[in-house]
Amino acid sequence: MRRLIAAALVIVLALPAWAGARHTVLMDVMRISELSHILHDEGVIYGAALDDSWLEGQGGAAWAQQVARIYDVSRLSEGIRAGIEPALQGDALELAITFFASDLGQRIITLENSARRAMSDLAIEEQARKQYTARQGTEDSRLKQINRMIDAGDLINRNVTSALNSNYQFLRALVDADVYTMSDAEILEDVLAERAAIEADTANWLGAFLTLAYSPLTLEELTLYAEFGETEAGKSLNNGLFAGFDPLYEGISYALGQAMAMNMTAEEL
């Protein structure tokens, strides 16, 4: 079986109009629309990798169009909002808005989005990974603050779990389409066999990304951001983001599996 390359139903809860307006403000100051376009572009790149590894590069324009539709920008944005809204209320919501509306908060969003775009270039990603690896195991003060952020948000474990669940849904779709014959236990075994590799890769990519993104910040600014991540507001925001991303990407992965099954079946005809 080809190796998966690890990278929904959107339920909008009924909330008071005022709360909805404040969540819109948070979405705006965090520039979720901009992030959604970046995630769309990442999805297109991932789709091309799936084409190479599963369809031998023969997916063509039809596959590319299917992938682009699956990574619909509105779907991504609304999926993120669906997680944030119930997770952030009251004071936590207001503190998150205040932080990201500040000059520092806006600089952080700009740096994160720029780094995310940059790391779509494999050469830049490789260089960022090398630089991060060279700093591991040292007494680097900046790396300590980045590790605080990773620990506060349980970012490695949560990203690994998300990747495994997404891989499961991709295979589940192929099984449902009768491309493969596997039990749930066999799908799970196949997915979990790559856990160690995914965990190592996730830890390295995450450290490289954060190191690259925050390199222009002073140590004081980086410390302030790490401290925000340890507050109730910071943790609630992190919880909300994962609550949005997890079902969103599980749905996307299942849709990719369905599209892949259609293309693989067509190849056999």
| Residues 6+ away with beta carbon under 8 Å from 65 | none
CA angle (210 as vertex; 42, 256 as ends), nearest 5: 20
Between CA 193 and CA 198 the distance in angstroms is 10
Domain spans, the chain: 17-268
Q: Give pTM, 2 decimals.
A: 0.90
- Closest residue by Cα to residue 191 from 5, 9, 46, 53: 5
Q: What is the pLDDT of residue 268?
A: 58
Between CA 254 and CA 269 the distance in angstroms is 23
Q: Which residues of the chain have pLDDT under 70?
A: 1-19, 267-269
Question: Distance of CA 173 to CAs 14, 82, 96, 178, 253, Å?
Answer: 31, 24, 37, 9, 8
Q: What is the pLDDT of residue 11?
A: 34
Q: What is the pLDDT of residue 119?
A: 95
Q: What is the pLDDT of residue 267?
A: 60
